[in-house]
Chain A
Amino acid sequence: MAEDSPTLQYLKERLADGILDTHAFRGDQTIVVRRERLCETFRTFRDDPKLAFNFLTDITAVDYLGKREPRFEVVYHLYSMPRGERLRVKVPVPEADPVVDSLTPLWKGANWLEREVWDMFGIRFLGHPDLRRILLYEEFQGHPLRKDYPVNLWQPLVPEREVAGTFVDERSRNKLTRLKQKLAPGG
């Protein structure tokens, strides 16, 4: 393997025991870090003046079902605006306990990105203020980007949600109820 870039070398010294692996493929610097104390690790990335990865570009996950153990990897892309450098940080997450620390205390933008990872992969983020589904609806069953989620699965239509404070037109609702009773067999 080729010589590590200065950033990766520095990271190895700085976070010695927190790093599981580092590599650079096609010029993309990647480090794999431990799940424990994740928020502190990212705080180092952001606040260490030699690293200054102040910009959270993206959060996503990959499901390596049957290929790797642990099954999931949460992938963060960081960018350092002052130094113009990218860094990919990967965190392995086991299937039995799919939880990682939330980065919302560090970057506000992590909020929606983490919600999307929860929605698509079912990985929970500890300390997230509002971990709801984002692209799908609350009644959806399962997490579609997991590799064991069938591509052509149809989910049943869900009944209309009762929303508190919604204006209800009593007259037309009664009319509808009467019509339904009339149409029902034996009505």
Chain B
Amino acid sequence: MNPERVDLPIETMDLQMGPSHPATHGTIKFNLKLEGEKVLDCDVEVGYLHRGFAKSCEQATWTQVIPYTDRLNYASPVINNVGYALAVEKLIGVETTPRCQFIRVIMSELARIFDHLTCCGMTASELGAITAGFYMIEGRELIMRIVETVTGARLTVTYVRIGGVKHDLPFGFAEQVERAFRIVRKLLSDCDRLLSRNRIFLDRMAGIGAISRETAIAYGLTGPILRSTGVNYDVRKAHPYLVYDQLDFEIPLGTKGDDYDRFVVRIQELEQSMRIVEQALKKIPPGPVTIEDPSIVLPEKERVYGSIEGLMNHFKIIIEGIKVPPGEVYFAVEGGNGELGFYLVSDGGGRPYRVRVRPPCFIAMSAFSEMIKGRMLADIIPTFGMINMIGGECDR
């Protein structure tokens, strides 16, 4: 280096990145203080997608909340449905049928695959690896088709009901899943060869956005971000719900807590989720998919039109809502981004008194400025991508 090199005076600069920025998927604004390209301070502004989820839920009946939950984390809508339904069932004190529990697990894991493929694919393509991005989007499309076959919708699925699911799995579901997984596995191995030892990708990801184990716990981070630091906390293992305790799967852990570890944890979770689905499909028992309780579950249409009891049950649930005993519960499931908790308060009426979602990516975004401080402007892209902020869930 030239010994007579003189450092040019650098002025600090304020830069507002977003709310609509081509490299950040999601509506969010970073108010940055820069020194050259170095980030001195980063103030994150969220809330652009706030639509009053909690307030809307207080106006709806317990059942009518389910479509609202679709719009929380729209990369894994079924997990939101399942989390909410399980919380309400805990409040009522009922448990669904064994077949329904397996269906919920299968659909949740498909949603997780969908979520992780979206997250990893988008981040890869934002870093320039368009090919890998498209490979993952192709895999995502296959999963999306399965979800569409089962639920009739691609994104706003509203598949789960309190006390069950909307309807059983379609004919030929297992074969469709098997076919899709075969292709997804092939695509993932291609992506592995494209990315895992790719110099550019590693330089952009490894060591970037690193966070220590203690800091991650202090911020309340969960999901792949927490596990990338080596903390073994997954709600599916720590507090098994549904039939996760009957299935054999592992929790991939990282060591450094940087963006690359988060990426690897997600990619490995994809394989584990596929394993869970395959096992669940082998073990799934026959039987009804909803519980037999006319005060919770809507009767079949034949009974509504053919008998006075059916008509009355239907009317009561639609107009007054399910009667949920007064009380409060907190129930958490493992969402795509971490612990997705529902805190419900009931006053005994047909409508929730308070619905609170513990949004994993909102909490992860609060640690963002700590992750990015002192790093380069360009590091925002992979770090933000690996947080996987989903506006619908972050801003509610």
CB pair A58 B366 closer than 8 Å: no
A26-B327, A108-B219, A112-B362 given; A135·B55 CB < 8 A: no
CB pair A28 B329 closer than 8 Å: yes
Using Cβ atoms and an 8 Å threshold, which residues of chain B touch A88? 328, 330
A86 and B330 CA atoms in complex are apart in Å by 9
CB pair B367 A57 closer than 8 Å: no
Closest Cβ of chain B to A66, distance in Å, is: 11
Tell me whether B231 is interfacial, beta carbon within 8 Å. Answer: yes
Using Cβ atoms and an 8 Å threshold, which residues of chain B touch A28? 328-330
CB pair A81 B233 closer than 8 Å: yes
Tell me whether B347 is interfacial, beta carbon within 8 Å. Answer: yes
A165 and B15 CA atoms in complex are apart in Å by 9
Tell me whether A134 is interfacial, beta carbon within 8 Å. Answer: yes
CB pair A26 B329 closer than 8 Å: yes
Closest Cβ of chain A to B200, distance in Å, is: 33
CB-nearest residue of chain A to B48: A135
Give the contacts of B61-101 with A (CB-CB under 8 A). 90-91, 93
A54-B217, A135-B46 given; A144·B356 CB < 8 A: no
CB pair A58 B343 closer than 8 Å: yes
CB pair B327 A109 closer than 8 Å: no
CB pair B341 A58 closer than 8 Å: yes
Q: How many A-B residue pairs have CB under 8 A?
A: 94
CB-nearest residue of chain B to A30: B328
A151 and B60 CA atoms in complex are apart in Å by 12
A77-B358, A165-B14 given; A57·B339 CB < 8 A: yes
CB pair B329 A134 closer than 8 Å: no
Tell me whether B238 is interfacial, beta carbon within 8 Å. Answer: yes
A120 and B14 CA atoms in complex are apart in Å by 29
CB-nearest residue of chain A to B326: A25
CB pair B219 A77 closer than 8 Å: no
Q: When the two chains form the complex, which single residue of A109, A116, A136, A151 contacts B220, counting CB atoms closer than 8 Å? A: A109
Tell me whether A91 is interfacial, beta carbon within 8 Å. Answer: no
Tell me whether A145 is interfacial, beta carbon within 8 Å. Answer: yes
Closest Cβ of chain A to B68, distance in Å, is: 14
CB pair B55 A112 closer than 8 Å: no
A54-B217, A56-B220 given; A25·B328 CB < 8 A: yes
Using Cβ atoms and an 8 Å threshold, which residues of chain A touch B396? 135
Give the contacts of A55-94 with B (CB-CB under 8 A). 55-58, 60, 62-63, 67, 75, 77, 81, 84, 86, 88
CB pair B330 A109 closer than 8 Å: no
Contact with B along A99-125 (1 / 0, CB 8 A): 000000001110111001000100000
Tell me whether B246 is interfacial, beta carbon within 8 Å. Answer: no
A134 and B46 CA atoms in complex are apart in Å by 7
A55 and B328 CA atoms in complex are apart in Å by 21
Q: When the two chains form the complex, which single residue of A84, A112, A151 contacts B366, counting CB atoms closer than 8 Å? A: A112
Using Cβ atoms and an 8 Å threshold, which residues of chain B touch A81? 217, 231, 233
Closest Cβ of chain A to B367, distance in Å, is: 7
Using Cβ atoms and an 8 Å threshold, which residues of chain A touch B328? 25, 28, 30, 88
Using Cβ atoms and an 8 Å threshold, which residues of chain B touch A109? 218-221, 363, 366-367
Tell me whether B215 is interfacial, beta carbon within 8 Å. Answer: yes
Closest Cβ of chain B to A55, distance in Å, is: 6
CB pair B52 A144 closer than 8 Å: yes
Tell me whether B354 is interfacial, beta carbon within 8 Å. Answer: yes
Q: When the two chains form the complex, which single residue of B55, B215, B329, B365 contacts A108, counting CB atoms closer than 8 Å? A: B215
CB-nearest residue of chain B to A67: B347
CB-nearest residue of chain A to B239: A84
Closest Cβ of chain A to B44, distance in Å, is: 9
Using Cβ atoms and an 8 Å threshold, which residues of chain B touch A54? 217
Closest Cβ of chain A to B264, distance in Å, is: 22
Using Cβ atoms and an 8 Å threshold, which residues of chain A touch B50? 135-136
Using Cβ atoms and an 8 Å threshold, which residues of chain B touch A144? 52, 55
Tell me whether B47 is interfacial, beta carbon within 8 Å. Answer: yes
A134 and B395 CA atoms in complex are apart in Å by 9
CB-nearest residue of chain B to A119: B47
Tell me whether B345 is interfacial, beta carbon within 8 Å. Answer: yes
CB-nearest residue of chain A to B395: A135
Using Cβ atoms and an 8 Å threshold, which residues of chain B touch A26? 90-91, 93, 327, 329
Contact with A along B142-172 (1 / 0, CB 8 A): 0000000000000000000000000000000
CB-nearest residue of chain B to A108: B218
Contact with A along B335-368 (1 / 0, CB 8 A): 0000101010101000001101010001101110
Give the contacts of B360-396 with A (CB-CB under 8 A). 362-363, 365-367, 370, 395-396
Using Cβ atoms and an 8 Å threshold, which residues of chain A touch B345? 62
Which 6 A-B residue pairings sit nearest by Cβ, starting from the closest?
A: A109-B220, A112-B366, A135-B47, A109-B219, A58-B358, A135-B50
- Contact residues of B with A, CB < 8 Å? 14, 16, 46-47, 50, 52, 54-55, 59, 90-91, 93, 215, 217-221, 231, 233, 238-239, 327-330, 332, 339, 341, 343, 345, 347, 353-354, 356, 358, 362-363, 365-367, 370, 395-396
Known contacts A134-B47, A151-B55, A164-B14, then 16 further A-B pairs from the complex at CB < 8 Å, ordered by chain A residue: A26-B91, A57-B332, A58-B358, A60-B356, A62-B353, A67-B347, A75-B343, A77-B341, A88-B328, A112-B366, A113-B220, A113-B366, A116-B362, A135-B396, A136-B47, A137-B47
